[in-house]
Amino acid sequence: MKTIKILSIVLGAAIMSSCNNKSITNKSLKTEIDSVSYAIGMDVARNISTTATEIDKDILIQGLVDASDSTALKIEKDKVQQIISTYFQNKQIADRKKQQEEAAKKAEEQFADVKAAGEKFLEDNMTKEGVEITESGLQYVVEKQGAGDKPTAASTVKVHYHGTLTDGTVFDSSVDRGTPAQFGVSQVIPGWTEGLQLMAVGSKYKFFIPQGLAYGATPRPGGAIKPFMPLVFEVELLEIVK
């Protein structure tokens, strides 16, 4: 947005000059204002080349000329800002998706052994006695069945939990801290969101969460959880807060 506004000012001045002088001459830089003017032009060109590479400069200039001369406009004035905002919002989403896909591809190559080990763990675990499997691939064992209500995705719950890697390494535990955790059911990883809704208040379940329902290729940098690791949680549902 800022880039477009600056570009409009600069090109607007250039167009006015062109209209008055018929052509824009190749001027030398004699004064400080000359240098500043030229530097702004260079900066705008640099910004446009990195933030709006798809913009057709000829059509952009046509829009400036039409607006300056009050000629018939091809877009209604009250729709201008929405068109610009929508373009840059969509571009930001597309750029972010591309970055995520590239990061996932790189992680696939770097942590292929971790992913394979996690898949083998879940394959072996699903054959053990008492292990239930949901359609999404979430595995769980009912250690204690409560008699209370079940939360929904819109609920806020209070729980005690103990989280480990498949080798037993503890990475997070409200039990060890001695303080229950409270959060929205839909504000956690997908495996938790699904698993909590299986539980009645007073229940204690053990969840074996596939990496696709956990942090996938992008866990928190520097933590114990590596990309594509499945996670194990013991969860006790203490209360549905609301």
* pLDDT confidence of residue 240: 95
Look at the pTM and tell me if it is higher than 0.95.
Answer: no
- The CATH topology of domain 117-240 is Chitinase A; domain 3 (3.10.50)
pLDDT above 60: residue 195: yes
Q: Is 140 a catalytic residue?
A: no
Tokens of 165: 């890697």
Q: Is 171 a catalytic residue?
A: yes
- Among candidate residues 121, 215, 228, 240, the one labeled active-site is 215
Q: Is 189 a catalytic residue?
A: yes
Task: Give the model confidence (pLDDT) of 77-89 as tens digits.
Answer: 888 888 888 888 8
Task: Give the model confidence (pLDDT) of 137-186 as tens digits.
Answer: 999 999 999 999 999 999 999 999 999 999 999 999 999 999 999 999 99
* pLDDT confidence of residue 72: 78
pLDDT above 70: residue 9: no
Q: Residue ranges per domain, the chain?
A: 2-74, 117-240
Task: Give the model confidence (pLDDT) of 39-73 as tens digits.
Answer: 877 876 677 666 666 777 777 667 777 877 776 78
Bridge partner residues of 160 (DSSP): 236
Q: Is 111 a catalytic residue?
A: no
Cβ atoms of residues 169 and 205 within 8 Å: no
CA 152 → CA 124, 191, 195, 196, distances in Å?
31, 14, 11, 8
Angle value at C-alpha 237, between 206 and 119, nearest 5 degrees? 25
Q: Is 176 a catalytic residue?
A: no
- Cβ atoms within 10 Å of 8's Cβ, excluding its own: 15
- Among candidate residues 6, 48, 84, 172, the one labeled active-site is 172
Q: Is 172 a catalytic residue?
A: yes
